[in-house]
Chains A and B, each alone.
Chain A
Amino acid sequence: MSIIKVHKLFKSFGDVNALQEIDLEVNASEIFGLIGPDGAGKTTLFRILTTLLIPDSGSANVCGFDVVKDYKEIRKRVGYMAGRFSLYHDLTVQENLSFYATVFGTKVSDNYELIEDIYSHIEPFKNRRAGKLSGGMKQKLALSCALIHRPELLVLDEPTTGVDAVSRTEFWDMLQKIRKKGISIIVSTPYMDEALKCDRVGLMLDSKILSTEQPENISKHHKNLLYSVKSLANNYIFLKALREQEWCRSAWLFGQTIHLGVNKDIDEIQLKKELRGMKDFESYEKISPGIEDTFIELMGVKGPDN
């Protein structure tokens, strides 16, 4: 059974196409990740799913209801955490939570066990104003508020942006627990490493969804050879030099090394010769592509910075 069904969805703002021919299906009780850079159209898609925007054409069903016609039904069933955590900064943690509970016609105590895991982290600060919380705590409070009415679907728009690494890891652990309680989750993120924590991911770029896969299968889309290259001197200068070669498909910095994708028409022996001819070359190693490599490959650019 699918909780989200999107068919040939188009949306534009004036001349700008925000979504083009989006097809998407999200199964019940799965964590679906929507990965893509800023401006890919993730937020627009989420706003259509949460009935905040009307699509130009195409259809979208959430929890079995049409996002345009039955928006009222969807609003009862969805928990939405917007990109900017929608918290009232002058209200305390507890007041925020109970406000959202009453708005959804429930009480904090009714669904407390659902949010207990998350809320227990911030409960010691329940009398603190939400504006005075750290990014990680705001995120936990916003998640508690979105969950308090036990929604069927949780829509999280970049929940980990601006949150420290420890909180991010904790956050994904919480999502796993929520999923186990039967709540479906669709989450967007610009961080590709988070894709591995989803059941399935959709890669989104330039208002299109490129592919939807289980995270471990994404790298199958990478059909070219990939190498990890080290340079003796400045990696950045070497990277620029690599990008000027005509056999270079992609080259980008990955930690202390450079990930280099090459065209099919050059084999390893030839490549070795070419690399040795370059200034400051140290060593290379053949590697299998990760999710970021695949994403760059699918984007058809030379690196994440262009």
Chain B
Amino acid sequence: MKRLIGFIRKEIYHIFRDYRTLIILFGIPVAQILIFGFVVTNDLRDVKIAVLDQSKDEVTTAIMDKIISSGYFVLEEELQSIDQIDPAFRTGNIKEVIIFESNFAEKLEKNGQADLKIIADASDANTGNLIANYTQGIILNYLNEMYKNIQIPYTINKYERFFYNPNLKAVYMFIPGTMALILILISTLMTSISITKEKELGTMETLLVSPLQPWHIIIGKVMPYIFLAFSNAVIILILGYFVFGVPINGSIILLLVSSILYVSLALSLGIFISTLSDSQLTAMFISMLALMLPTMVLSGFIFPIENMPKIIQWLTAIMPARWFISILKQIMIKGSGILFIWKELVILTSMTVLFIVLSIKRFKIRLE
């Protein structure tokens, strides 16, 4: 036990003396969460549009007012002819053009039908789709309000309500996802580098020729970094709560305990990676490349798991981030208790134990 404590003390010296790495360890998560939170978002805001209003009557004006006042759109240009549409897309930042046919109000009144054309810039397919849908929604809304007194036979009234995230804020999705991604990357990097560094400096050689057991070294490397990675988790949660307004509806204690579990898992994974590589560079490549993309793609962070082919869905089960994201969403957004996340907790715990056992088994007690 004294040996383990001595080892941990040494690790703590390493951590706090290398203040440059320390700044990176804390700076990168903060920077990334801010970047992800602000930049990577599906929410529409201030999309620049143009209008070609060939009718200019009270209905078209009312519809345009409604669209502009929604906050999603900004009117950038009023076009005069169809010929101007293409140049407007090419030169300006215009993402959408709305065209009203002539005598819009009149036709609507007389025939009960008038034509409106939405042209969206689909060079970014998702955004184009989103813009068109939003516009459509606003127009339908207008019509419903306008003619609510008129009874149309056989209408289905549709009322939407979105539970847990009523405003459909993308940040609710991105903060848990980014947190899972950053924590696993940083934590694996910390331990895998710290062990391979000893191999490179030659100090591992002396540690091997000593009565230290593999588990002394492995636990001694994981323990001090738990505190470091955990403080990272707390910083991200604080940023999510105060900067992005992501709620914490469930138990904070449960949230923190789950975070400790998740970082321990990532740190053990880092140790396991260090048993596979002899240099800091290899360890870094494995930690970054082998983890980053699968975690982003397969954890449900960006693409919904339910939409994936069955085989890929099974594959996602081995991604630790998938289970942690699920825990985060349950606790933070839905406010669920332990009864709803026990399965995830068990999976994360078993993965941690597995990696530690594998690392101890694979740990080379000699130089070859």
Chain B 337-368, CB-CB to A under 8 Å as 1, else 0, gives 00000000000000000000000000001111
**Cβ 8 A contact of A86, one of B2, B9, B205, B212:** B205
Interface-forming stretch among B12-20, B33-41, B139-147, B252-260? B12-20
- Asked whether any CB of chain B lies closer than 8 Å to the CB of A266, the reply is no
Q: Which residue of B lies closest to A92 (CB)?
A: B13
**Cβ 8 A contact of B209, one of A80, A84, A91:** A80
B202 touches A75 (CB 8 A): no
What is the interface size of chain B, counting residues whose CB is below 8 A from a CB of the partner?
26
**Residues of chain A contacted by B9 (CB below 8 angstroms):** 99
The smallest beta-carbon distance between B79 and chain A, in angstroms, is: 66
**Residues of chain B contacted by A90 (CB below 8 angstroms):** 13-14, 17-18
**Cβ 8 A contact of A52, one of B5, B203, B366:** B366
Q: Which of B208-224 contact A (CB under 8 A)?
A: 208-212
B211 touches A76 (CB 8 A): yes
A54 CA / B365 CA spacing, docked (Å): 11
**Residues of chain A contacted by B10 (CB below 8 angstroms):** 88, 91, 95, 99
Q: Which residue of B lies closest to A145 (CB)?
A: B206
The smallest beta-carbon distance between B24 and chain A, in angstroms, is: 16
A88 touches B210 (CB 8 A): no
Q: Which of A47-98 contact B (CB under 8 A)?
A: 47, 50-54, 71-72, 75-76, 78, 80, 82-84, 86-91, 95, 98
The smallest beta-carbon distance between B205 and chain A, in angstroms, is: 5
In the complex with contacts A53-B366, A53-B367, A90-B13, A78-B209 CB distance below 8 A: yes
Chain B 52-77, CB-CB to A under 8 Å as 1, else 0, gives 00000000000000000000000000
- Asked whether any CB of chain B lies closer than 8 Å to the CB of A103, the reply is yes
In the complex with contacts A47-B367, A53-B366, A91-B13, A105-B3 CB distance below 8 A: yes
**Residues of chain B contacted by A91 (CB below 8 angstroms):** 10, 13-14, 17
- Asked whether any CB of chain B lies closer than 8 Å to the CB of A247, the reply is no
- Asked whether any CB of chain B lies closer than 8 Å to the CB of A172, the reply is no
- Asked whether any CB of chain A lies closer than 8 Å to the CB of B164, the reply is no
The smallest beta-carbon distance between B3 and chain A, in angstroms, is: 6
Q: Which residue of B lies closest to A103 (CB)?
A: B210
**Residues of chain B contacted by A87 (CB below 8 angstroms):** 203
**Cβ 8 A contact of A103, one of B13, B18, B211, B367:** B211
A195 CA / B217 CA spacing, docked (Å): 38
**Cβ 8 A contact of A82, one of B5, B202, B211, B212:** B202
**Residues of chain A contacted by B366 (CB below 8 angstroms):** 51-54, 71
B206 touches A95 (CB 8 A): no
- Asked whether any CB of chain A lies closer than 8 Å to the CB of B7, the reply is yes
**Residues of chain B contacted by A47 (CB below 8 angstroms):** 367
**Residues of chain A contacted by B18 (CB below 8 angstroms):** 90
B368 touches A53 (CB 8 A): yes
A88 touches B3 (CB 8 A): no
**Residues of chain B contacted by A54 (CB below 8 angstroms):** 366, 368
- Asked whether any CB of chain A lies closer than 8 Å to the CB of B207, the reply is yes
Q: Which residue of A lies closest to B367 (CB)?
A: A52
B207 touches A103 (CB 8 A): yes
- Asked whether any CB of chain B lies closer than 8 Å to the CB of A125, the reply is no
B202 touches A86 (CB 8 A): yes
- Asked whether any CB of chain A lies closer than 8 Å to the CB of B6, the reply is yes
A71 touches B367 (CB 8 A): no
A72 touches B211 (CB 8 A): yes
A6 CA / B233 CA spacing, docked (Å): 55
In the complex with contacts A52-B366, A53-B367, A82-B6 CB distance below 8 A: no
In the complex with contacts A91-B13, A95-B10, A105-B211, A80-B206 CB distance below 8 A: yes
The smallest beta-carbon distance between A105 and chain B, in angstroms, is: 6
B209 touches A105 (CB 8 A): no
The smallest beta-carbon distance between B50 and chain A, in angstroms, is: 61
A100 CA / B10 CA spacing, docked (Å): 10
Q: Which residue of B lies closest to A91 (CB)?
A: B13
**Residues of chain B contacted by A227 (CB below 8 angstroms):** none
A266 CA / B9 CA spacing, docked (Å): 70
The smallest beta-carbon distance between A165 and chain B, in angstroms, is: 25
**Cβ 8 A contact of B205, one of A82, A105, A145:** A82
A53 CA / B365 CA spacing, docked (Å): 10
**Residues of chain A contacted by B210 (CB below 8 angstroms):** 75, 100, 103-104
B17 touches A82 (CB 8 A): no
Q: Which of B177-223 contact A (CB under 8 A)?
A: 201-203, 205-212
A71 CA / B14 CA spacing, docked (Å): 29
Most buried by A among B13, B205, B209, B367: B209
A104 CA / B207 CA spacing, docked (Å): 10
**Cβ 8 A contact of B208, one of A52, A84, A99:** A52
Q: Which of A110-165 contact B (CB under 8 A)?
A: 145
A145 CA / B10 CA spacing, docked (Å): 15
The smallest beta-carbon distance between A163 and chain B, in angstroms, is: 17
Q: Which residue of B lies closest to A87 (CB)?
A: B203
> Top 5 A-B pairs ranked by shortest CB distance?
A102-B6, A86-B206, A80-B209, A84-B202, A90-B17
Q: A91-B13, A99-B7 are in contact. List 5 more A-B contacts (CB 8 A).
A: A47-B367, A86-B206, A102-B5, A102-B6, A104-B211
**28 A–B contacts from the bound complex (CB under 8 Å):** A51-B208, A52-B208, A52-B367, A53-B368, A54-B368, A71-B365, A71-B366, A72-B211, A80-B205, A82-B202, A82-B206, A86-B202, A86-B206, A86-B207, A88-B10, A88-B14, A95-B10, A95-B13, A99-B7, A99-B9, A100-B206, A102-B3, A102-B5, A103-B7, A104-B210, A105-B2, A105-B3, A105-B211
